[in-house]
């Protein structure tokens, strides 16, 4: 795949995640804010609006605002930008890894944008589980981050695209090598 098509695919994935995340958060803000939790599928899915000022599971929510901004907005934003540059610059990165990174970048940017737009908070509204065994409250950006991380960690590792389909010289058996 040529570099421009690869860049368009990665950029398209990032934009798709950002779009879905933004739309769902705006719907949640307008329909769930200030209301009691709503349950669906026998209570398995719970919709409840929550402003999270910390990281996952509100970790760090009690830190001073300046520290939260530095870590959760500035540092995370810089790491996401570095990851984007890496993914776009590394030609032999497997496409599944590039798309996994795009999911993480899109989700991470969605949450960073929340922190910039909503006074340091991320808008969460989804919760799943059975009885007392439930997840923390999360959003579409979080799902993209988890999905991208899972693909990267769990997908089988193979050869890089630059080496795919090439047969090592020693195995070719043609007259290309010394006799």
Tens-place pLDDT, residues 18-55: 999 999 999 999 999 999 999 999 999 999 999 999 99
pLDDT at res. 60: 93
pLDDT at res. 153: 95
pLDDT at res. 83: 98
pLDDT at res. 141: 98
In the chain the beta strands, taken as DSSP E runs, fall at: 38-40, 45-52, 122-130, 133-134
Residue 57 pLDDT class (50, 70, 90 cuts): confident
Q: What's the number of CA atoms in the CB half-sphere (13 Å) around residue 71?
A: 12
Packing angle, helices 76-89 and 95-117, rounded to 10: 150
pLDDT at res. 134: 96
Residue 73, classified by CB atoms within 10 Å of its CB into exposed (0-12), middle (13-18) or buried (19+), is: middle
How many angstroms separate the CA atoms of 100 and 145, rounded?
9
Which phi and psi angles does 93 have, rounded to 5°? -70, 130
Q: Which residues pair with residue 138 across a beta bridge?
A: 126
Contact 93, 87 (CB under 8 A): yes
pLDDT at res. 133: 96
Q: Which residues contact 56 (CB under 8 A, 6 or more apart)?
A: 136, 142
- Number of helical H runs and strand E runs in the chain: 6, 4
Tens-place pLDDT, residues 125-175: 999 999 889 999 999 999 999 999 999 999 887 655 554 545 455 555 555
Contact 23, 39 (CB under 8 A): no
pLDDT at res. 2: 85
pLDDT at res. 159: 56
Please say if 97 is a catalytic residue.
Answer: no
Please say if 114 is a catalytic residue.
Answer: no
Per the residue annotation, which of 21, 97, 119, 124 is the catalytic one?
A: 124
pLDDT at res. 170: 52
How many angstroms separate the CA atoms of 122 and 115, rounded?
6
Average pLDDT over residues 44-69: 95
Contact 145, 103 (CB under 8 A): yes
Name the one residue in this structure whose structure tokens are 């669906």: 40
The domain spans of the chain are: 3-154
Per the residue annotation, which of 97, 114, 119, 142 is the catalytic one?
A: 142
Q: What is the pTM of this model?
A: 0.85
Tens-place pLDDT, residues 79-133: 999 999 999 999 899 999 999 999 999 999 999 999 999 999 999 999 999 988 9
pLDDT at res. 146: 97
């Amino acid at each position: 795949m040529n570099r421009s098509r690869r860049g368009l695919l990665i950029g398209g994935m990032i934009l798709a995640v950002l779009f879905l995340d933004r739309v769902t958060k705006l719907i949640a803000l307008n329909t769930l804010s200030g209301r009691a939790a709503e349950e669906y599928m026998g209570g398995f899915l719970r919709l409840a609006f929550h402003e999270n000022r910390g990281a996952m599971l509100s970790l760090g929510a009690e830190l001073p605002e300046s520290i939260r901004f530095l870590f959760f907005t500035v540092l995370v934003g810089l790491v996401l930008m570095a990851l984007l540059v890496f993914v776009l610059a590394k030609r032999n990165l497997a496409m599944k890894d590039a798309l996994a990174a795009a999911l993480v970048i899109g989700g991470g940017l969605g949450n960073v944008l929340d922190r910039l737009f909503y006074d340091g908070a991320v808008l969460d509204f989804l919760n799943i589980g059975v009885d007392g065994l439930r997840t923390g409250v999360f959003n579409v950006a979080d799902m993209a981050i988890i999905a991208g991380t899972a693909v990267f960690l769990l997908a089988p590792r193979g050869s890089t695209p630059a080496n795919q389909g090439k047969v090592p010289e020693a195995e070719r058996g043609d007259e290309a090598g010394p006799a």
